[in-house]
Structure 1
Amino acid sequence: MAPSDKDRIQRGFTLIEVLVAFVILALFLGAVLPSLSASLSATRTSNDTLTATAYAQSLIAGVGVEGLITEGEFTNTLEQTRFTSRLTVRPYGGPAATATDARLYEVTARIGWRDGVHRRTVSLTTLRYGTGQ
């Protein structure tokens, strides 16, 4: 049975079918794109937090490496990054704890950065045993 001219004309999509398909696609994208955006933002924040934690661990690891521990507060903008650091070293405990040459020090490393409009901070604190300056 040969197809008639009428059957050949009816093979394509009508304009209304194409418009309905576009509306469905637009609704789907409207629902999915905010989720993708939130996911990308969370991934970036997670990566920044991991980087800041690594910087803070590195700062703490450097305290007292060359012998004497220097008390005080030290700030720095980390090169070629948007991170800033603040390292605080102070004696741990009361006057009895400072009576000897070797003592405990409280070491706090704070790494801060801007994430859009938010200011984020990672803070690590530990105790370090050593001789002060």
Structure 2
Amino acid sequence: MFPRASRTPPSAAHPSAQAGFTLLEVLVAFVIAALALGALFGGALGGLRAEHTADRMQEALSRARSHLATVGHGVALRPATEEGEDGSGFRWRIAITPAETSAAQTGAASATRLALYHVVVTEFWPQEGGERSIVLRTERLGTAAGGGP
């Protein structure tokens, strides 16, 4: 019948045509890999910065709570502002201001003047891009400055 013609596929005819990747394909693959690695590195670096910020904030909170606990015990409960260094770049400020004063009867003839004080403890520390701070506010009841009637 009809003679069979043998057909060779184009890749077999030119073996070098499909033997590997072109230079352009390799360059595109390297660019994609570099972008992916850059994004991963940026994310990891951002996570490390966030962890450092959280650690410093937790330390500042602990120091501020400690200073707040001294008000009325180690620090007199009277109108004043005190500041100091805590070390490791931390600084603190305690501000005590009177809020209200009232007379409370403690006996038949004596009266003790009580005062409500606003207490503000601020802890500062240096951070990349500026200074950070944390503020704790509370109120404490104590005797009014000047004593009794």
Please tell me the TM-score bracket, short chain as reference.
0.7 to 0.9
Asked if residue 109 in structure 1 is aligned to residue 137 in structure 2, the reply is no
Structure 1 or 2: more strand by fraction: 2
Q: Partners of 1:34 and 1:83 in 2: how far apart? A: 29
Number of aligned residue pairs: give it.
117
2 CA distance for matches of 1:127 and 1:49?
23
Q: CA–CA distance in 1 between the matches of 2:43 and 2:116?
A: 48
How big is the alpha-carbon RMSD for the aligned residues of Structure 1 and Structure 2?
2.6
Q: Runs of 5+ in structure 2 lacking a partner?
A: 1-19, 104-111
Identity %: 32
Write the deviation string for residues 72-96 of structure 1: whole angstroms up to 9, x where unpaired: 11111113x1111011011113xxx
Q: Who is 2:92 aligned against? A: 85
Tell me by how many angstroms 1:43 deviates: 1.0
- Higher helix proportion: 1
Alpha-carbon deviation of 1:65?
1.2
Q: Compute the displacement of 1:60 (Å).
A: 0.8
If asked which structure has higher relative contact order (CA below 8 Å, sep 6+), I would say: 1
Matched ranges for 1:36-115 at <5 A = 36-65=44-73, 68-79=76-87, 81-93=88-100, 97=101, 100-115=112-127
* Structure 1 stretches of at least 4 aligned residues deviating more than 4 Å after TM superposition: 16-24
Query: What is the CA deviation profile of residues 27-78 of structure 1, one whole-angstrom value per residue up to 9, with x for unaligned ones?
Result: 3211111111111111111111111111111111101115942321111111
Gaps of 5+ in 1: 1-12
* TM, length-normalised to structure 2: 0.65
Quote the Cα distance in structure 2 between the aligned partners of 1:66 and 1:42: 35
